[in-house]
Every structure is written in structure tokens, then in C-alpha cells.
Amino acid sequence: MQQTSDPTEASGAPLKIRTFTSMGTVISLALVPDGPAAGQAADDELAAALAVVERLFRDLDETFSLYRPDSEASRLARGELTLPRASDIMRDLYAEAHDWRLRTEGAFSPERPDGVLDLSGLVKGHAIREAGTSLLALGRRNWCLNAGGDVLAGGSPVPGSGEPWRAGIVDPGNRGSLVAAYPLAAAGRHLALATSGSAERGDHIWRQHGRPAEFSQVSVAAADIVTADILATAVVSGGTPMLDRAADGWDAAILAVRTDGSLVATPSFRR
Amino acid sequence: MKTRGTVAAAVASAGILLAGWQAGTQAGGTSIITATGTTAEGSGGASGTNGSAPHSATTKGTTSGTTAAGTFTGAAVQTRFGSVQVQITVAGGTITDVTALHLTDDDRKSIQISNRAAPVLRSEVLAAQSADVQTVSGATVTSGAYLTSLQAAIDAANL
Amino acid sequence: MTIQLPQAQAGPATRGPAARPGRDGNGFAVQHRRRLLRADLLTVVAWASVAAAVALWLSDGGLAAAATPAGAVTAAGIVAGLVGMDLVLLMLLLAARIPLVDRTVGHDRALGFHRKLGKPSLYLLLAHGLLIAVGYGMAAGLDPVSEAIALWSLVPDMWLAYISMVLFVAVVVTSLVAVRRRFPYEFWYAVHLLTYAAVGTAIPHQFSVGGLFAEGTWQRWYWAALCLATGAALLYFRVVQPIAATNRHRLSVVRVEQAAPGVVNIVMKGRALDRLAGTGGRFLIWRFLAQGMWWHPHPFSLSAEPVVLAADGTGTLRITVRNLGSGSGGLVRLRTGTRVAVAGPYGLFGTAARTRDKVVLMGAGIGITPLRALLESTPFAPGQATVLLRGHSDRELYLSHEILELCRLRGARLFHLTGPRDKGQSGWLPDDAVHSGYSLTSYVPDAADADIYICGPSAWAGNVIADATAAGVPATQIHHERFDW
């Protein structure tokens, strides 16, 4: 990938980005120092924030990874542990996942087709949500967290300007280009943007319910990242009926790319 | 005589393919809200590029001179989502607002909609070059695929 | 030995429904032009259906989806599948014995097209499976084999499509082998029944998988209509019509008599036989409803016009059969009263194929017998017809007495060509005739201006066709029916 960009060039604000790997993907944290902080101080602030976020992701991954045989989720999957005796966080997320299953009329489900409990559809969103809360608790106001393509932002890339973070949405037909963009926090509403594709997890072109996927990619912008993430997943699996339910039932902006490359969007995504 | 059959078959086939291609181009660009016809002369007609369903507009607002202003209501258009009627508000020669008036589907006879998803052209969505964005959203990128992603390019530029 | 008859003064007026075109001078030319027009229309429809299959995909915005390499491969797979299935449907329609097709291109030419489409449609269907697996695999980052397994296990109806693919391969391969090895007709028939299973298992995934035929699209309606129409045509023309014809004619065997050594006349009585008048030359499919015989269909032509005894069409008809072959052997032992199921008539080997006022009928061996009925019914003016009968000896010129009588009555020239076959190139004539320098034009000087009906073993018929072509007879005037299938 030869494309480079320097979005801060015009504004002069020293945007800094650090990355780490967790949950099988790469997490990028972009931070803008408040005020004219010196280089070293800004770096320290970033390092401290990054350490908090990274720790949070690692802890959740240790509990929920089905790739780690010793994780709580794996022991639960093998039947060595029952849900009533599981940790609080496990039971909380399980309850939340079930709540989402009801609200999406089954389009989102915390269980794999083979019956194994798989909360990974929720855990990443939860980790981003917790990371955002931690950043705010640390007093960081202007930041943007991207975990494998799901984005949560706070403040602005240019502190004090009210300018929104601009998030691009990858074109599923050509991953080197963008199909659209969305301003995060433009109106202070949608700070989160999540994208799901039909090519994830071996589900590819087809939906689980036996009909082909209508959408190759669905992006949802919402006030919180878990809602955005789950609705995106649900629309990919539930097709147009779920898209209409999501648009009607949630304060969300949705852009769906059909398998033929054409677009379906709610009004907020239009120019 | 054999030539006649072959030629006729070739012409018919070409015609059918052309019709299919034409339909395909339109289907790919199906849009119930189009940005052409931003100026309306006198009678105030707003026209759509969707050839199969031209919007025959009726003027409800005032029109004056070559630059029209007012509210235009399009004809009901059949979409895969049901029947949609569009109201366009024009001021100073440009469309300032587009509202879908009503949309019916199998379940609901007629509803006011505020946030319905509808087909749009790629040129009609909020667009950006990768240089204009600070972050990129996409279907989950594995750590292996990250290196070749747009996000990696942005991250690398801001280390 | 050669017999040449003096021309009779007046033949009987031509009769039956087939008599009409001959009355006015250029009647057969008009009939021929109409048939060519129909043939062109059928060609257009066939090609248009292929184009429409591609247009379905185009109209769904297919080109847009083909922008990426994976999309392009998938798109090629989709188009291959659409065209392949369309060709399969065309094959079924060609084999459905639809009267329009039958009267326009003839039964054996329709089956010729049917055979020609076999391999291309199989290749397209194989390409469809392969390209889809590769294209989807590319999109999902899987190798084609893993993708194929994923499709099998994840997608409903796909396992049926895989079975369909195996059946199609089996049908085409066994058909090709059967043609080469000359397996019995029953084997052929059983293999072709598999085709219905192959098509049947291919259909579900076309509608349940893939967005092109998603519910609510006009493409779905078109494709469903196409499949249903093909199925309906097969059902109607291959099942309903034969049952109706059997019920209408209520045929039963009256007697089986020896016509010559190894050749029998089977005389049947039945009703509404006036409807079979004028079908001389065309074949019907007979099933004798006796134990051990009912399942064996026999394609035979009438060897005489039906004899109608009453106004309701009650009467008798006759076929003449050589007592050979796996199924024909038992026909000698047919008992009086055996019920007979009949379907047809089929084929273009009859008056409907006429393009000229002059006609030449050439038969060899048992192939003489259909010409006997054609000679009785096809219209011609006295002196305009020539009959050439070929056999090793007089004894193989079956029904020659009847034919002689008909030629006298109608004013046709008759030649008996007997003797051993010449080893040379134009092997249709007896040895001595070739050595005397005879060819087709020796017997029929104006052959180039006549319709030539040829019925006999395929090697012999091939030699006749070569001679006729050399004599300047256009291909449209040469009518040949395979009868040794």
C-alpha cells in the first residue's frame, strides 16, 4: 500500500497514531494533544493512553478468545464451565447478546450454527466502548480509536474547531479505495462507525439462512459502537428487512453495498 | 435462406443483449432522487434520469425567471422497496431538500418516513479521497491483512 | 434387372389433406418458402433465448459486478450457467416432438441439433461450476476446492446442483459412448431419463441461490416461465398426446402375415384412422401391449394408407416390419387382439417436406415400405414421379407388387435395381449398373428439379445423397430419414 496521507498538514495539529495487535486484528489509536503540548509530553500522553487501551483489549481477549484453549470462553464451549458459574463480565455480555438477538429478531445471534456460544461479535464492540470510556476518564477529549475497521471517536482532529473526524468507508469491490465517507460527531450524535462484510468468517457470499447475501458490506454509524457493530452484522445477515428495521428502529445512518456494487443509504449518508 | 435466418438471429440477439445492457446500466444507477433538472423553467418541471419512471412534476411553490424556487412533487416511483414519492425543494436554482413523501411496502400501506434506506448512486453519497480521512472503516481486517490496508497507510503517516 | 413401365394415362386424383399444395403449379414452392420462413423464425427464437439468458444477467447490472477480477470470474461463471441451462432447455424442446419443430426441420434434424448441443452445454455447465468456485473463492480468499466444499456444506440446494452436474456428465458421456458402440435403444432411453433428473436437480439452486432470480424480480418470472414451458411441452407432447392418440385410435392387432422371408405385415384395426391419412412416410411410435413387449417402443412408418370403412374413421392400417433386432423379433408372435399404443406421426419424411412438383422415391430393403405409403398419398401429376427400389434380389424388394400396381395407377416410372453391391464409390447401385456407367441421372434425368426421398440403410443412403448432390440436386430437395436407429 503506497498511499500515504497527512490529514493534519493543513490544520497543523500534531495528530499521533500508535497501533497494537489484539483480538486477531490491529488497533489504531489516534490522539490529538489538548493545547500546544510539547513533543515529548504529547508522546507520553499517547503512551499512557495506549497502555490503558491495550491492557483493556488484552484482558477481554484472554477471557473471550476461543483461540486460547485456556480462556474462560473456551472452557465454557467445552462444557467445563457453566454459565451460572461464569464471570460477571461473561454473564453480562451473554445477557446483552441475547438482548440484541431479540431486538434484531434473530439477525444477530451469540451462538454459532454448531451451538457454541460465540460472543466475539459483541466483545470487540464492548472493548472499544470500554476503551472510549477509559480515554474520557483519563481526560482525553480528542481521539479516534479504530479496531479492525470499527471506529469510535471523541472530540475533533482539530481541538476546539468543532471539525468532525472524517471516516472513510472501504469499497468492498476495491479495498484500496473508499466508497464513501462519514463525519463522526458532526452533529455530536454519531460517534461510532462499524462495518461488516458478507465475506467474514467463512460466511462469505451466502447468508446463514439459506439465501444469498444481498449486501457485500454494511456500514452503520450510531451514537455507540456496540449498536453500530451489531446492526451492521445484523443487516448483512438479515438483508433488506433488517435494513429497514434498523433504519426505523434506531438512530443510525446506514450505507449498504449490494453484491452488484450498487448502494443503498439512509438520508444522512447522502450529500 | 440460411443467411437470412442467421442474420435475423444475430440482429435479434444483439437487440436483446443491448436491451439487457441498457436495463442493467439503469438498474445499476437506479435512483429515485436525482440531481438533474436543478433549474426549472417557468412551468417548473423536475426531471429524473430514471428513464423508466420520469418524474412528472407539479409545481407547488412560486417560480420566477430562469431560476426556479419552490417545492416540487415527483410522480410515485416503483422501487424494490415499494412505491416512493419524492418532494424536492428548490431555492436559488439548487435543490436544498429532498424528502420522500410516502413509501409503501407489503406490510405497511403508506407511512411517513424519515430514515428509510433507498438506492443511491455512488456519486450521491458523502465521498472522500483516502487523503481526506483520518480513519477508515471496513469489514474486519485481520492482523495479517492490516499491512495492506488503507488504515495502515494512515497510521504509518502519523507515527 | 430393370423394369420400366409405360406411363399410365391417368392416375387417380390425389386425395387426402396433403393433396392441396400440388394443385396449383407452384404449390410446393410456396409450402417450401413457408417452411424456410418457419425455420428462420425458430433459429431466431433459439438464438434470442440464448441472448436473453445473457441479457437477464446484463439487466441485473451484471457488468458492474464484473469490475473486479473475482467479480469477473464469477460473472463468467454465471453467464456460462445461464447459457448452459438455456441450451439444455433448447435440447429438451428439440427432443419434445413439438409439431411446429417437427414440421419445420424434421425429427432427425431436430435430434441432430439436440446432439450437437450436448457437448457445448455440458462444457458450459462444467465451466459454470468451476468459475463460480474460483470466483467466489477469490472473493472469500479461499482456494476453489475449499470454496466448493464450503458451497456444498453451507448453501442449501447446492448439493442438488452437484448431483445434477454428475448426472449431466453421466448422460453426455454415456450418450457419446452409446452412439459409438450402438447400444440398444432401451439403454439409450434409460440414460436419457436421467436427463430429467439432471435438469430437475439443477433447477432449485438457480432460484434459491444467487440474486439474479431473487423473489420479486422479473428475471425470476421469465426463467420460471421458461422452465415451466419446457416441462409442459415435454409433458404434453411426449406423454399427454401419445395417451390421447392411443385412446383416440384404440388400435388392436388383427393379423400378422408373412410378406416375405423375415418380413411381416402387421394389420391393426382402430378408430378415427382418417386422421392418419396422408401421413405416408412419417413414422409413428408403436407399443404392443403384450407381456414383455409393452415397454419397447418401435418407430415404424405405415406401409399403406389407412383403409377407412366407416364415417367415424373405423378401419384398418398396416405396418411392414423386418423381423430383426432385439425388439422386432417377437413381433411375429403377436396375437390377434393385442392392444397397441401409438404416438405420432412424427418426422418430415412426407408430403410436408415437398419443395417441387416432381418427386423421386428411392428405397432399399425394408426402407421401401414407408415409400409405399408415401407413393400412395403424395400428390404428383402422371409422369412427374419416379420410384427406384434397390435390393440384393427380387425377394428383397418388399411390397413390390403393390408398388407396381400403384405406379401403374398413378403414372409413375418404376425401376427395380437388384444385384450385388458395387465396391466402387457410388455404391448405391448394383454392380452391373455401375459397370454400364449408370448413375442417378440415368434413371432420373431431371433429378435436379425433383424432390428426392431416400429411405434405406445409412451407408446406402449416404451414397445416394452423394450421387444426387453430384447431379446438382440442392440439399433442400434431398429428404432422408434414418430408419436404422
pLDDT 10s digits, B76-127: 554 434 445 556 666 665 656 666 554 444 333 223 335 678 888 888 888 7
Name the residue among C114, C125, C45, C47 with its Cα closest to residue C82: C125
At residue C286, φ and ψ (nearest 5 deg) are -110, 140
Contact C345, C277 (CB under 8 A): no
Contact A168, A153 (CB under 8 A): no
Kindly report the nearest CA distance between residue C127 and chain A, in angstroms.
19
Is the predicted pLDDT of residue C433 greater than 50, yes or no?
yes
CB atoms within 10 A of CB C145: 10
| Lowest mean pLDDT across A195-209, C21-35, C126-140, C451-465 | A195-209
Residues 6+ apart with CB under 8 A from C322: C262, C263, C328, C365, C366
Residue C53 pLDDT class (50, 70, 90 cuts):
very high
Is the predicted pLDDT of residue C326 greater than 70, yes or no?
no
Residue C291 pLDDT class (50, 70, 90 cuts):
confident
Using the beta-carbon criterion (under 8 Å), do A263 and B120 form an inter-chain contact? yes
At residue C88, φ and ψ (nearest 5 deg) are -60, -45
**Helix extents (H) in A8-119:** 39-64, 72-77, 88-103
Residues 6+ apart with CB under 8 A from C302: C276, C279, C280, C284, C317, C318, C319, C370, C373
What does pTM read for this prediction?
0.57
A193 in contact with B, Cβ within 8 Å: yes
Contact C461, C108 (CB under 8 A): no
Distance CA B90, CA B110 (A): 25
Chain C positions in Cβ-Cβ contact with residue A205 (cut-off 8 Å):
136, 139-140
DSSP E strand boundaries for B10-141: 58-59, 70-73, 77-79, 82-91, 94-104, 118-120, 135-137
Enter the DSSP assignment of A33: -
CB atoms within 10 A of CB C241: 15
Contact A254, A213 (CB under 8 A): no
Residues 198-217 of A with CB under 8 A from B: 199-200, 217
Contact A177, A171 (CB under 8 A): yes
Distance CA C95, CA C111 (A): 6
| Lowest mean pLDDT across A26-35, A113-122, A154-163, B39-48 | B39-48
Residues 6+ apart with CB under 8 A from A45: A31, A33, A37, A140
Which residue of B5, B20, B23 is in closest CB contact with C40? B5
Q: Which pLDDT belongs to residue A13?
A: 54
Q: Which pLDDT belongs to residue A167?
A: 92
Number of A to C CB contacts under 8 A, please give it: 52
**Number of domains present in the structure of chain B:** 1
A91 in contact with C, Cβ within 8 Å: no
Q: Give the pLDDT confidence of C405-420 residue by residue, as tens digits.
A: 889 888 898 988 888 8
A160 in contact with C, Cβ within 8 Å: no
Which of A70-79, C21-30, C133-142 has the largest mean confidence?
A: A70-79
At residue C253, φ and ψ (nearest 5 deg) are -75, 130
High-pLDDT (> 90) share of chain C, %: 34
**What are the grid coordinates assigned to B31, written together?**
435512483
Using the beta-carbon criterion (under 8 Å), do C211 and A204 form an inter-chain contact? no
Q: Which has the higher per-residue pLDDT, C295 or C98?
A: C98
**What are the grid coordinates assigned to C223, written together?**
426463467
Q: Which pLDDT belongs to residue C342?
A: 94
Name the residue among B75, B76, B74 with its Cα closest to residue B98: B74
Measure the CA angle with vertex A208, ends A207 and A209; round to 5°.
95
Using the beta-carbon criterion (under 8 Å), do C48 and B17 form an inter-chain contact? no
Contact C63, C57 (CB under 8 A): no
Kindly report the nearest CA distance between residue B107 and chain A, in angstroms.
11
Name the residue among A198, A193, A191, A121 with its Cα closest to residue A150: A193
Can you tell me whether residue A73 is helix, strand or coil? helix
Distance of alpha carbon C324 from the chain centroid: 22
Q: Which has the higher per-residue pLDDT, A138 or C44?
A: C44
Name the residue among B138, B100, B133, B108 with its Cα closest to residue A270: B100
Residue C24 identity (one-letter amino acid): D
Give the best residue of C68, C151, C157 to mutate against chain A (max A CB count within 10 A).
C68
Q: What is the mean pLDDT of residues C345-358?
A: 89
Q: Which pLDDT belongs to residue A237?
A: 84
Distance CA C14, CA C406 (A): 12
Q: Give the pLDDT confidence of B37-66 residue by residue, as tens digits.
A: 333 333 333 333 333 333 333 333 333 344
Kindly report the nearest CA distance between residue B3 and chain C, in angstroms.
9
Distance CA C151, CA A261 (A): 22
Contact A53, A29 (CB under 8 A): yes
Using the beta-carbon criterion (under 8 Å), do B125 and A180 form an inter-chain contact? yes
Taking CA–CA distances from B126, the nearest residue in chain A reads A271
Residues 6+ apart with CB under 8 A from C462: none
Using the beta-carbon criterion (under 8 Å), do C47 and B80 form an inter-chain contact? no
Q: Output the DSSP codes for C205-223.
A: HHHHSSSTT-TT-HHHHHH
Which residue of B13, B20, B28 is in closest CB contact with C47? B13
CB atoms within 10 A of CB A39: 10
Using the beta-carbon criterion (under 8 Å), do B24 and C61 form an inter-chain contact? yes
Is the predicted pLDDT of residue A128 greater than 90, yes or no?
yes
Using the beta-carbon criterion (under 8 Å), do C55 and B10 form an inter-chain contact? no
Distance CA A84, CA A88 (A): 9
Q: Measured between alpha carbons, how far is residue C364 from residues B134, C285, C399 in Å?
A: 89, 21, 12
Q: How many Cα atoms are found within 13 Å in the side-chain-facing hemisphere of A132?
A: 22
Q: Cell 438455456 maps to which residue? A: C86
Q: Which pLDDT belongs to residue B45?
A: 36
Is the predicted pLDDT of residue C18 greater than 50, yes or no?
no
Residue C228 pLDDT class (50, 70, 90 cuts):
very high
| Lowest mean pLDDT across A224-228, C207-211, C406-410 | C207-211
C64 in contact with B, Cβ within 8 Å: yes
Residue C306 identity (one-letter amino acid): P
Q: Which has the higher per-residue pLDDT, A216 or C12?
A: A216
Q: At what angle do helices C144-154 and C107-140 cross, to 10 degrees?
A: 100
Across chain C, what does the average pLDDT equal? 84
Q: What is the mean pLDDT of residues A192-204?
A: 69
Chain C positions in Cβ-Cβ contact with residue A258 (cut-off 8 Å):
211
Largest CA distance in chain A: 57
A241 in contact with C, Cβ within 8 Å: no
Using the beta-carbon criterion (under 8 Å), do A212 and C62 form an inter-chain contact? no
Q: Which pLDDT belongs to residue C329?
A: 62
Chain B positions in Cβ-Cβ contact with residue C62 (cut-off 8 Å):
24
Is the predicted pLDDT of residue C7 greater than 80, yes or no?
no
**What are the grid coordinates assigned to C381, written together?**
401429376
Q: How many Cα atoms are found within 13 Å in the side-chain-facing hemisphere of C32?
A: 17
Name the residue among C141, C143, C142, C161 with its Cα closest to residue C152: C161
What domain range is B56 assigned to?
2-156
Q: Measured between alpha carbons, how far is residue C64 from residues A217, B26, B28 in Å?
A: 16, 11, 7
Chain A positions in Cβ-Cβ contact with residue B133 (cut-off 8 Å):
5, 7, 166-168, 178, 181
Which residue of C44, C51, C52 is in closest CB contact with B8? C44
Which residue of A25, A165, A180 is in closest CB contact with B126? A180
Q: Give the pLDDT confidence of C169-186 residue by residue, as tens digits.
A: 888 888 777 666 666 767
Q: How many Cα atoms are found within 13 Å in the side-chain-facing hemisphere of C260?
A: 18
Residue C225 pLDDT class (50, 70, 90 cuts):
very high
Q: Which pLDDT belongs to residue C247?
A: 94
Using the beta-carbon criterion (under 8 Å), do C58 and B28 form an inter-chain contact? no
Q: Which pLDDT belongs to residue A177?
A: 85
Distance CA C42, CA C49 (A): 10
Q: Output the DSSP codes for C356-425.
A: SSEEEEEEEGGGHHHHHHHHHHS---TTSEEEEEEESSGGGSTTHHHHHHHHHHHTEEEEEEESPBPSSS
Which residue of C39, C58, C64 is in closest CB contact with B17? C58
SS (H, E, C) A145-163: EEECCEEEEECCCCCCCCC
Using the beta-carbon criterion (under 8 Å), do B16 and C40 form an inter-chain contact? no
Using the beta-carbon criterion (under 8 Å), do A168 and B131 form an inter-chain contact? no
Chains contacting A (3+ CB pairs below 8 angstroms): B, C
Chain C positions in Cβ-Cβ contact with residue B9 (cut-off 8 Å):
40, 43-44, 46-48
Beta bridge partner(s), residue A19: A28
Q: Which pLDDT belongs to residue C107?
A: 86
Chains contacting B (3+ CB pairs below 8 angstroms): A, C
At residue A269, φ and ψ (nearest 5 deg) are -85, -5
Interface confidence: ipTM more than 0.95: no
Using the beta-carbon criterion (under 8 Å), do B126 and A178 form an inter-chain contact? no
Distance CA C443, CA C450 (A): 13
Bond into C345 cis (ω within 30):
yes
Residue A86 pLDDT class (50, 70, 90 cuts):
confident
Is the predicted pLDDT of residue C260 greater than 60, yes or no?
yes
Beta strand A215-222 pairing with A165-171? unpaired
Is the predicted pLDDT of residue A188 greater than 60, yes or no?
no
Chain B positions in Cβ-Cβ contact with residue A17 (cut-off 8 Å):
154-155, 158-159
Distance CA A44, CA B155 (A): 18
Residue C365 pLDDT class (50, 70, 90 cuts):
confident
High-pLDDT (> 70) share of chain A, %: 85
Contact A31, A16 (CB under 8 A): yes
Q: Which pLDDT belongs to residue A256?
A: 94
Q: Which pLDDT belongs to residue C15?
A: 40
Q: Give the pLDDT confidence of C372-387 residue by residue, as tens digits.
A: 999 988 999 888 999 9
Q: Output the DSSP codes for C240-290.
A: IHHHHHHHHH-EEEEEEEEEETTEEEEEEEES-GGGGTT-TT-EEEEEE-S
